[in-house]
A and B are shown apart, each in its own frame.
Chain A
Amino acid sequence: MKVRVAFLMMLVLLAGAVFAGDAPVLEKVFGPIVTGEKKPCEVRKIKNDRGIFVEVYDPAGKKFWTSESLGVEDKKFMLVDKMLGLALKDLDKDGVDEILVSAFIGPQSSGLYVFKYNAKTRGFDAMKSRFPKEDLDRDCLISDVNQESGGDLVVNPDGSAVVLGMIYAENAEEPPVPGLYSFLLKDGVFVHQKTEKLPPPPKE
């Protein structure tokens, strides 16, 4: 009996080791995202009780980086006209892909994060979005128009990005209107270029 119990104890420990910390993988992609490393790494978008995260595994399958919480729920974005939740793309044309991932932050806003490898930290840094006039930097591109299609967060291979967001009038009694906020990637930062009001939707 003792042998059986000991065997089962070992089984329990093994199960704990195998299953501990396992979180649902929403999506995963493979690609060369580490400078100087030609073999592809695996990137996973996961969701656990604390929110949405990105994990990166080296070519040997060992996890070496986990992002901070990106949001509370999954969210889609668009790479040109493709609806995705996670993608790899070399937006800054340095020969190494960046990690593109989106998440719903709440209560209204969603974020499109672009992570670039940092050889010094052996981790990834979020490329900032910047409103130069207002001296405002954020760690991601933000849309506060929560569209299920993902069309509120659009990025293009040339480093340009367009997000949907409300435009607020100076007169507080005037209602906000939806607009297109355009950005361009310059020196590793998405710099705000212009804001345009959306044309009104056609009447049904």
Chain B
Amino acid sequence: MLRAAKRCFSLALVLFVFGFSPGLHAQNFENVLGVEGAKGRAGVNAIVVKRSVETSGAESYNGIEVGKEIDKLLDEINKLIEDLSKIVDEGPSGPSLPGRPNSPARPATTPAQKPTASNNTAGGRTYTVVSGDTLWGIAQRFLGNGNRYWEIVQANKSRYTSLLNNPNLISPGWKFIIPGGRSLPTNPGNGNPPPTTNTTNTTGTSTSTGKTGESAALNAWKGGKLSPSEFARLLGPVARESMKRTGVPASVTLAQAALETGWGKATIGNAKNLFGMKGTGPAGSITVRTQEYMNGRYITTNGTFRKYNTWLESFNDHARLISQGSRYANSMRNKNNPDQFARELQKAGYATSPTYASTLISIMKSYNLYQWDKWPCKTRSPR
């Protein structure tokens, strides 16, 4: 909070001073605000300054008018300083750190208000976030598929670096570049995952034609222990789809999901959570009673786990932490060698056990999970 306020204060001063450069177009200010103005509640103050700058946009300046404007803006600067003092006095009472395991789960949506379509400023390739928006919902509306939220993250990660660490946390006022975006549809999606057009053939082998890689059989699966072959048959196409997006080998993530869930037994209720990820996911969170071991005894506590709309989201979320984390960079350098990928995960500390990699490799070999690293013959591998 303090940091945001400080940034905002700096920004407000920048806006104030440079707002009087005759050649500078008002739109430039909006661009600047889009980056910094939404980082905290102090962003509201910056917008006040912006408005003043815009109303002073007459091309012909004279000394008296400019002087009056300066006086007005000085008043606003004073108000800003007062607001800043209030914020500083309130201390670190702002929201808990996003995704922090020790803090209460943060909602996946922006705070409280319902989305207001009329506030959208989508103009072809940009969109301004409003209260109630979710990244998934924005992807659903503009890209036609909520699972493509990652494309929005990629397109905007340099502007909003926190997206990489926590794509669930977005703020009103952020201006997203929509990759290959289309204009706002007249009837925005209802927030549900898009229907897939998957089929199951007569031999029971799932085939997927949807972008999520999820077959009808997988959609019907609500969790529960499967045989290893059934587990791979159902989730293999999804792991491969995730590999296409993140680079993490499907064979490795399948083996990890098998280990984490006991071949599908533990997917945390209806959360579709294959990796026991804590926090808040694209579909919110699920709280379950868990046992924690501390000082030689167990204590019962509530654990908050991420909830996903699709199995693919679970794979993607897990793979994101691996593919984006500098700690796992050596693994990603070996993304075409699943065994070495697993060994590098172990070295980096993905798991405590010093035998984790050999366990993964054993699973991959026993059930030939490597086949899921290859793209079907009729489809070109995107890797």
Contacts and interface: CB of A to CB of B under 8 A. Distances in A.
Interface of A: 1, 4-5, 8-9, 11-12, 15-16, 18-19, 22-24, 47, 49-51, 68-69, 71-76, 78, 81, 104-109, 111, 131, 133-134, 136, 138, 140, 142-152, 163-168, 170, 172-173, 175-176, 178, 181, 192, 198, 201-202, 204
B122 interface: no
B353 A165 contact: yes
Contacts, number: 163
B277 interface: yes
Contact of B352 (A24, A72, A109): A109
Task: Give the residue among A18, A131, A144, A164 with the most B Cβ atoms within 10 A.
Answer: A144
B292 A143 contact: no
A24 B69 CA distance: 35
B331 interface: no
Nearest to B262: A175
Contacts of B295: 78, 81, 151
Ranked nearest first, the 8 interchain pairs of A and B with the lowest CB-CB distance are A165-B352, A151-B294, A134-B354, A49-B161, A142-B349, A131-B354, A201-B291, A168-B359
Nearest to A168: B359
A164 B352 contact: yes
A196 to B, nearest CB: 12
A106 B317 CA distance: 11
A36 B258 CA distance: 53
Contact of A109 (B92, B277, B349): B349
A108 B291 CA distance: 16
Contact of B293 (A50, A175, A178): A178
Secondary structure call for the A interface: loop
A168 B318 contact: no
Contacts of B162: 49
B351 A144 contact: yes
Contact of A72 (B13, B294, B325, B354): B325
B102 A76 contact: yes
Contacts of B265: 175
B42 interface: no
B96 to A, nearest CB: 9
Contact of A149 (B258, B276, B299): B299
B363 interface: yes
Contacts of A164: 293, 352
Nearest to A192: B354
A73 B17 CA distance: 37
Given A148-B301, A167-B353, 11 more contacts: A1-B70, A5-B20, A49-B161, A51-B165, A78-B294, A134-B355, A136-B346, A136-B347, A138-B348, A146-B278, A148-B101
B63 interface: yes
Contacts of A146: 101, 278
Nearest to A19: B6
A140 to B, nearest CB: 7
Interface string B1-35: 01100110110011011001000000000000000
A75 B228 CA distance: 35
Task: Give the residue among B10, B265, B322 with the most A Cβ atoms within 10 A.
Answer: B10
